[in-house]
Structure 1
Amino acid sequence: MADSEKSSGKLKWLVIALLFVMAMVITGMGAYLFLGKNSTGAEQAAAFAPIEAPTPLFVKIAPFTVNLTGDDAAASRLLYLGLSLRVGDATTQTLLTDRMPQIRSRLLMLLSGKSAQELTSPEGKAKLAEDIKALFDKPLSEPQPTLALQEVLFTEFIVQ
């Protein structure tokens, strides 16, 4: 009988040790899952956080007045135009600001060849914006870095 008491005592301690190990494993798994969910939640919150757009850079070109071409010389038409150029980087912004006299000269040459009839329609204004953007395909200086010109924006546009 002493053997059976010793066996049952050892078995009892073995069961207690086994239960203790199982409790530790379950606790560890619970902690892993709980902490894993929190970090996943933080990652999801970061993924859905609003992304701030970079501040756009603009180069303002002061308004100017241009004589437009036309059939009747007595009834000359004028264009009063102000515009801004949206650029992609500070290098382009600095280069365009430094070369403003060249830019204004190119714009005056382009605009003086236009007629009032061309510029009064929405399609004509869109075409003019494309033509102005194309002016910057020709380098302003040698060597010139690639210009990051994104958009031509009309701030003032009066045909008289």
Structure 2
Amino acid sequence: MATSKGGSRKLLWLMVILVILSSSVAAAVIYLVLDQRDGAVLASTEAVPERRAPIFVKIDPFTVNLADDAYGSRLLYAGLSLKVGDEETREILEEHMPQVRSRLLMMFAGKQAGDLTDPGNKQRLGDQVMAVLDPPMTDHQPELVIEDVLFTEFIVQ
């Protein structure tokens, strides 16, 4: 009987150890599965890009005499807004606004009224505005990030 009591105690201890081990493994698996699911939810929320407000630089309206001798004296009244990519570009443009306005006035003064009234030429005119503002206005100026030129007022008379 002594052997059967000792054998049954060993069997009992073996079963207790197996139950504890299987419970521990089950708990670890459940924890890992739930942790992965939480990680997937966090990853999906991180994948959505944060909405950022557009940055605009308003250029006050100006009037320019056009180079149009065929029709006499023609005028352009234009107001612009520049959509820029970062705050640094906005700051540079606002700090150098007299230079910006001068460059734009010189560019528009060389245009003819017929070129400005054609709707297809407005996009090309926007590209020319970006090209005029592309050269640096000061030494060691970082590259300007101008995304779009928006004409807010535009009258040819």
Any idea what the Cα deviations from partners look like across 1:118-149, whole Å, max 9, x if unmatched?
11122211111111111123332234332222
Any idea what the Cα deviations from partners look like across 1:84-104, whole Å, max 9, x if unmatched?
122223332222222222222
Kept in 1, the 8 Å contact 2:103–2:132? The answer is: yes
Answer yes or no: is 1:64 the counterpart of 2:57: no
Query: Any unmatched runs of 5+ in structure 1?
Result: none
Aligned length: 157
Say which is worse superposed, 77-86 or 6-15, in terms of deviation: 6-15
1:47: which partner in 2? 46
* TM-score relative to the length of structure 2: 0.81
Query: Residue type matched to 2:36 in 1?
Result: G
Please give the alpha-carbon distance, in whole angstroms, between the structure 2 residues aligned to 1:9 and 1:143.
85
Kept in 1, the 8 Å contact 2:89–2:144? The answer is: yes
Residues 21 and 159 from structure 1, CA distance in 2 versus in 1: closer, same or farther, beyond 3 angstroms? same
Cα drift, residue 44 of structure 1: 3.7
* TM-score relative to the length of structure 1: 0.80
Mapping of residues 92-103 of structure 1, within 5 Å: 92-103=89-100
Cα drift, residue 23 of structure 1: 2.8
Please give the alpha-carbon distance, in whole angstroms, between the structure 2 residues aligned to 1:144 and 1:21.
67
Tell me the SS of whatever aligns to 2:70: coil
1:105: which partner in 2? 102
Say which is worse superposed, 7-16 or 106-115, in terms of deviation: 7-16
Query: Any unmatched runs of 5+ in structure 2?
Result: none
Kept in 1, the 8 Å contact 2:103–2:133? The answer is: no
1:148: which partner in 2? 145
Please give the alpha-carbon distance, in whole angstroms, between the structure 2 residues aligned to 1:51 and 1:90.
19
Please give the alpha-carbon distance, in whole angstroms, between the structure 1 residues aligned to 2:63 and 2:91.
25
Say which is worse superposed, 80-89 or 65-74, in terms of deviation: 65-74
Please give the alpha-carbon distance, in whole angstroms, between the structure 1 residues aligned to 2:118 and 2:153.
15
Query: Residue type matched to 1:63 in 2?
Result: P
